[in-house]
Amino acid sequence: MTQLLPRRVTLSVFCVFALFVCGARAQADDISGTINSTLVLYNDSELNGDVTCAVPLTNPGANPCISFGADHIKLRLNGHTITGPVTPPTGCSLPTDSKYGVGIAAIDRTDVKIEGPGIIQHFERWGLLIGLTGHPSSEVTVKKVTAYRNCWSGMQTFSTSDSNFEDNVFASDAGGSNGASCGGT
């Protein structure tokens, strides 16, 4: 039987003093543990552990767990999970609520990136919020991110342009939108 098999190709890669040259990476802020008030990013940042969000809904509008506070920066999830405080449909936001929780917000921002793999789940409205009416965002990249079981949409975009959303998974979102038109994205 073995003789009837076609030619077998064995690929070997020998790494002698494996020298994979990586560009010098700017110092990144590490994130993990419990976040009790909105964490605003001003530098490239990355998760080095899972994150639990317990941000109280104190401000009118969006109360994100993590928010981009500068342009031209990125957040790497490094395979970790960001978990909000609710399990749909329990605890989900009503359309009439003036204060609501979201996972990650990029509002009034240009050239910011959210890079997975990683999961954003269990938020009162949206897992990801990109732009708002009157507060546009542009050149936003969301890549390899999974938005799972958020009450409203996995990702919501308003006034967003020239952006790239690629290789993401939006699963089982909008399980508690209370009449709002929502879904994966």
Partner 1 sequence: MNTFTGNGSAASKSSPSAPNSNNFGLGLLGVSQHNLIENNKIGGNLNGVYLGAGGNVTGNIIRRNVILGNPPAEAIREFGVSIGADIQDFSPPGTNTFEGNRCLSYAGAGPSPCPNLGEHQEDAEEEAVAAFVRNRHASQARVFNAVYRLNSPFLPKAARFAPGRTPESDSVTVTGKVVDAACFMMHALAATRASHIDCGAACLARGVPLAIATDDGVLYFPADGNQRLKSLLNARVRASGTVLEKHDPMELKMPVGDKNQMVVRVEGGYKQITIQTLEKMPPAKRGAA
Q: Which of 11, 22, 24, 26 is in the footprint of partner 1 by CB under 8 A?
A: 11
Residue 176 makes contact with partner 1 by CB under 8 A:
yes
Long-range contact list for 31-39, CB < 8 A, 24+ apart? Answer: 31/66, 32/80, 35/65, 35/66, 38/63, 38/64, 38/65, 38/66, 38/67, 39/65, 39/66, 39/67
* Cβ-based nearer residue to partner 1, 52 or 141: 141
Residue 117 makes contact with partner 1 by CB under 8 A:
no
Residue 3 makes contact with partner 1 by CB under 8 A:
yes
Nearest CA-CA partner of 55 in 76, 35, 72: 35
Least distance from partner 1 to the Cβ atom of residue 86, Å = 14
Tell me how far apart the alpha carbons of residues 96 and 55 are, in angstroms, rounded to a whole number: 20
* Cβ-based nearer residue to partner 1, 57 or 180: 180
Stretch that binds partner 1, among 17-25, 64-72, 99-107, 114-122 (CB under 8 A): 17-25
Tell me how far apart the alpha carbons of residues 131 and 73 are, in angstroms, rounded to a whole number: 16
Position 160: which residue type?
T
Segment 25 to 64, residues that bind partner 1, using CB under 8 A? none
- At 172, list the tokens: 């089982």
Which DSSP category does 4 fall into?
G
Segment 135 to 174, residues that bind partner 1, using CB under 8 A? 153-154, 158, 165-174
Q: Which of 1, 18, 22, 24 is in the footprint of partner 1 by CB under 8 A?
A: 18
Q: Which residues bind partner 1 (CB under 8 A)?
A: 3-19, 89, 153-154, 158, 165-185
